[in-house]
Amino acid sequence: MNTIQTGWDPLVKFCLPTQLQQWIQLYKAHMGEKAIVKQVPITEENLQRIRELSEIIPIRRRYRGPRSRGFCRECHRANAQRVSVYHR
């Protein structure tokens, strides 16, 4: 029995538009993580997909980018290179 609570209902995922389902498969998080998608490059197309997803389910975005000594951590949106999306 899977006891990990991700907040991501399988029925909701199944009912998403096909384009969003395919996009999520490209960047999906590993099993057991709370993120819906991780390490998504910030492009106009990806930002549009995130906006579409936010209209269907409540989400939280975490921006990632260079912080210090080459490590990629949370940062301000203006400096971000990637974004991770979590169910709110």
Reported as a single tens digit per residue, the pLDDT across 31-59 is: 778 889 999 999 999 999 999 999 998 99
Confidence of residue 3 (pLDDT cuts 50, 70, 90): very low
Section 5-28 average pLDDT: 80
Residue type, 26: L
Q: Strand ranges (DSSP E) for the chain? A: 35-41, 59-68, 71-74, 82-87
Confidence of residue 67 (pLDDT cuts 50, 70, 90): low
Could you tell me the end-to-end alpha-carbon distance of the chain, in angstroms, rounded to an integer? 24
Whether residue 2 is predicted with pLDDT greater than 60 in this model: the reply is no
Q: Where are the domains of the chain?
A: 29-87
pTM: 0.78
